[in-house]
Structure 1
Amino acid sequence: MAHPLIPRIVTCAEPIAAELGLEVVDVVFQTNKKPPVLRIDVRNLSQDTGLEDCERFSRLLDPQLEAQEIIPGAYVLEVSSPGTDRNLTTDREFIAFRGFPVRVKTYAPYKDQKEWCGTLRERDEAAIHLNLKGKAIAIPRELVAKVQLDDQP
């Protein structure tokens, strides 16, 4: 379950990312660490995401988070790029990565499996559609725990 502060953090972070030509891909607030860790993954919309992108975003976001007092107490801010094994979550990502190898993990077994590896065909209202070596399968969305790009096709 996502931390309740994440929507406020996203609201603060997205305009800064947009100003820099970046997109906020994921936000995780790990309160089980001392101090807590706020990890934000960003992606450059026009080229590969680099360290400079993460640094620029961090330098602009940090003072805004402090000024708005969103997170009480000390915390560590980590900004990174999502990498190739990242989770797909947005409609935009599912469209952009159509035809790419993915790994789908389910909460409960579907057709006796909890993990599926195949080529992403699409995501619609009802299912994640994969091509498994020429065979089409539709995994119901309510069963899907996560969809990740798979670097092991």
Structure 2
Amino acid sequence: MLNEKIFKKLLDIGNLVADSKGFELVDMEFVKESGNWYLRYYIDKPGGVTLDDCQLVSMELSKMLDEMDPIPYSYFLEVSSPGVERPLKKDKDFIKYIGSMVEIKTFEKIDGKKNFTGILKNYSNDTVTIEDGKTYSIPKDKISAAKLKFEWNEEQE
């Protein structure tokens, strides 16, 4: 696992590269899967990202990471889109997606529930308001995970 200083440095590198290429860094994770470490950066831009976009950012990140060498052991670097069910982490994410279907999980029960799926109605004063027939106000510090919820309809099938 990485200490906070190294994790911040990796975030800074990701933001620097993404910004310089015209992308938004949506998220970053460093995880162990099947005995291997993976450093994953998730990028986005209006209209979505392509495989070529991911390759471009990956090449730039790889150069910087090789020069700085902030991780003391081997890992795989991956760059991808956050997908249609992108995570909502930053204040601007919640504001940008007002009116969208979201899925929110909380650390503790709020009105007897820990899982909420509904329309994101508002975000202010670090409170997320969603509606699923009933309106819920959820303090942001109580949210363990939030993401867009993709809705399938018959026209898409």
How many residues get paired?
Answer: 151
1:25 alignment partner AA? V
TM-score by length of 1: 0.89
What does 1:52-91 align with in structure 2 at a 5 Å threshold? 52-91=52-91
Q: What is the aligned partner in structure 1 of residue 150 from structure 2?
A: 151
SS in 1 for 2:36: coil
1:139 alignment partner AA? I
Q: What is the aligned partner in structure 1 of residue 39 from structure 2?
A: 38
Shift of 1:33: 4.8
Q: Give the superposed CA RMSD.
A: 2.0
SS in 2 for 1:120: strand
Shift of 1:121: 1.4
Name the CA shift for 1:88/1:2 in 2 (closer, same or farther; >3 Å): farther
Name the CA shift for 1:31/1:90 in 2 (closer, same or farther; >3 Å): same
Name the CA shift for 1:113/1:2 in 2 (closer, same or farther; >3 Å): farther
1:10 alignment partner AA? L
Take 1:59 and 1:84, find their aligned partners in 2: how far apart are those partners?
Answer: 24
| 8 Å Cα contact 2:48-2:81 kept in structure 1 | no
2:75 alignment partner AA? Y
Shift of 1:109: 1.1
Take 2:136 and 2:35, find their aligned partners in 1: how far apart are those partners?
Answer: 43
Q: Which runs of 5+ in 2 are unaligned?
A: 153-157
TM-score by length of 2: 0.87
Percent identity reads 27
Name the CA shift for 1:2/1:65 in 2 (closer, same or farther; >3 Å): closer
